[in-house]
Chain A
């Protein structure tokens, strides 16, 4: 499944052009495929060699700054050599709760490498990465972009051994790369026994306009979290003028704690692609994209196979199901480690081969999306649900769930519970019900919808998962009373600072300042002054940021302050203002250089 590790050193520079040629040709020298080409070039060389960038710049006739700009935006692309084995530990709070910190230390020690650095012999680099979407079977890591889960000290030992012996990834034990689906509760979607092609047949039988009407009747709302009416979106896009229309499936499932799209794409890919094809027919698109997050690289071959199967079955390609003029095909674009690309306009920028910076909106993608053409962007689950609706009708679907949240929602349950995994419920299910079903005890809090979502305290466990109460993109992270909710919020604040695209001032600088302040509190240097500062920053991020990332970046802090105030109070160790940095440590270099260690060579706390 994994191609052998290719060593950049084994390629003499002059052959770079000949290695790049097939990649360029496969992508038709299209600048929109720049990110895809960079990813493939890196898979060959281990990093993006400057000469490879020169070659791409010449061949694609685009300036070098553009290529470097794109390459440096994505976490998984490197302009400098990394280790032959690039190990990235998933940094989500659920990974930490399962012991990832100690496991990473263990690996660093065994392989003699500092976190974030490359080993002196170039063999390995070890660092952290944002949530890899394996929270139900963590702690997790990526090695050369492939996922390994259920890490234990023993498994880390084995991995270190394999790396030391330079065993190619393809020869590593297959069980390391096995990923469980963990489907714990099936409802109409996961239990439908969907037959490939059945929804498209229904569409052709019923008619396009009529099928759109069914989608509208179903009251289906976007499953990415925002909950816009799917029928309306498709209708707007269908009516929008353009030379081409596009369907985009957002599988950039980057919200920490979310992994339901991983399972849908693994076990229900046909149903997802069928939903995209339905949408294409309705809006008049001939081309669609699946934007797959880089962390799910392991799914690529499987998804390509499903697409190929569908082409062979005349469910994709020209004259789908023999219907003249029903032409549609799907291309898969892989992301490369950028959470912000889950925002639909940033995702489109990324699809166009650019930096994933959210656009100024309006205009919205339904009128001005991919290549400025009308584009529907929907979540994986939305497309899967639409297949079901085409098959069984809008009224049937609308009757499930609540009045304003029809149908079911798939939850990714992780954290402190006996049975983490995938749970499908009709909308309206209470938090308490989910907790009971997953075997959670002594629960202190649930973080619903990931880092940008809402932190729910026990008094609210009777609340419902629904757009009108607690909307969610699917994450459901459980924390029992042994957990420190301040540390949970701090983990999320670090996440946002790492993932801020850097476009707007408040988010670029503000998320970093917020991170620094949370770290200050964590070090025990907090005072009521800092508390006030954190609240002011929250307000600023919320009102001035360019996109949802900045707006949401303060949610975890605001929520935990409101609901778990003692976790903060116990860190307000000082009444008066304290510096953020350790003053005594600030003398360490001078002490070392002068050899002094007398009392005068130290700075204590306020004397």
Chain B
């Protein structure tokens, strides 16, 4: 007899101002990936190369917001995901990119494109409309949209990500506990 096929949950993932380290951690769940693929189907994600997110059950976002494109993608995720999860230090508190926040953006751009050593002649601040513009400051995700869950860590371990997913799939509040909850 066939058991009724349970609908797979649709999951999307992306990295904004992040380093893809959190995605690498997701891959670190190793052979549990097979269990995961029994339960979920990936929409937009570096794993699928789908460019725009469709309606999803869960969205995972690593990285904070450092430019306007990040904001667009985040909003797209928010409006398409029932549950949105901020993954990793950068998504939660700005992380490494936010270390620029004590410097004024114009000073950074000046330094990088005009005054630092070794610049090619005529180096200028890029202004191609194709390029995203940096925000005055880097912001964590929860300052711009409502975030439902957070998985801290830089990166969070594969076990931590798995635990949160497993808790959610089982329908209860994610709990990490000692050893899994980490900010470093």
Contacts and interface: CB of A to CB of B under 8 A. Distances in A.
Q: A contacts B directly in the complex (CB < 8 Å)?
A: yes
Contact of B136 (A529, A580, A589): A589
B125 interface: yes
A596 B106 CA distance: 14
A593 B106 contact: yes
B98 to A, nearest CB: 13
A232 to B, nearest CB: 51
Interface stretch (A107-115, A252-260, A598-606): A598-606
B115 interface: no
Given A577-B145, A577-B146, A583-B144, A590 B105 contact: yes
Interface string B63-94: 00000100110010001000000000000000
Contacts of A592: 106
A595 interface: yes
B112 to A, nearest CB: 11
Interface in B104-151: 104-106, 109-110, 125-127, 129, 133-137, 139, 143-146
Interface in A219-248: none
Given A577-B145, A580-B143, A590 B135 contact: yes
Contacts of A588: 136
A594 to B, nearest CB: 4
Given A593-B109, A594-B133, A587 B68 contact: yes
Nearest to B133: A590
Contacts of B135: 586-587, 590
A469 interface: no
A589 B146 CA distance: 26
A601 B129 contact: yes
A579 B145 CA distance: 7
A105 interface: no
A581 interface: yes
Contacts of A591: 133
A518 B55 CA distance: 34
Interface in A560-588: 576-577, 579-581, 583, 585-588
A583 B137 CA distance: 10
Contacts of A585: 136
A135 B105 CA distance: 43
Contact of B129 (A579, A581, A598): A598
A577 B142 CA distance: 10
Nearest to B126: A594
Interface residues of A, number: 26
A607 interface: yes
Contacts of A579: 139, 143-144
Contacts of B72: 607
A601 B133 contact: yes
Interface residues on B, range: 20 to 34
B143 A586 contact: no
A393 B104 CA distance: 68
B106 to A, nearest CB: 5
A596 B127 contact: yes
A594 B106 contact: no
A586 B136 contact: yes
Nearest to B144: A579
Contacts of B144: 579, 583
Interface centre among A576, A581, A594, by most B CB within 10 Å?
A594
A600 B129 contact: yes
A11 B68 CA distance: 54
Contact of A594 (B75, B125, B145): B125
B129 A603 contact: no
Given A577-B146, A603-B71, A586 B137 contact: yes
A589 B72 CA distance: 19
Contacts of A596: 127, 129, 133
B75 A606 contact: yes
Contacts of A577: 145-146
A587 B136 contact: yes
Contact of B146 (A529, A581, A583): A529
A521 to B, nearest CB: 16
A580 to B, nearest CB: 7
A579 B142 CA distance: 8
B114 to A, nearest CB: 10
A602 B71 CA distance: 11
A590 B143 contact: no
A588 B136 CA distance: 7
B135 to A, nearest CB: 5
A581 B65 CA distance: 13
Interface in A531-585: 576-577, 579-581, 583, 585
A576 B143 contact: no
Nearest to A591: B133
Contacts of A601: 68, 129, 133
Nearest to B76: A607
Given A579-B144, A588-B136, A601-B133, A595 B71 contact: no
B68 A594 contact: no
Contact of B106 (A581, A587, A589, A606): A589
Interface centre among A529, A580, A581, A600, by most B CB within 10 Å?
A600
Nearest to A576: B146
A598 B137 CA distance: 21
A595 B127 contact: yes
Given A579-B139, A585-B136, A594-B127, 13 more contacts: A529-B146, A586-B135, A586-B137, A588-B136, A590-B105, A590-B109, A590-B133, A590-B134, A593-B106, A596-B129, A600-B68, A601-B133, A602-B68
The 7 closest A-B pairs by CB, nearest first: A594-B127, A590-B133, A577-B146, A589-B105, A586-B135, A579-B144, A593-B109
Interface of B: 68, 71-72, 75, 79, 104-106, 109-110, 125-127, 129, 133-137, 139, 143-146
12 contacts: A579-B144, A581-B139, A586-B139, A587-B68, A587-B135, A589-B104, A589-B105, A590-B134, A590-B136, A594-B125, A596-B127, A607-B75
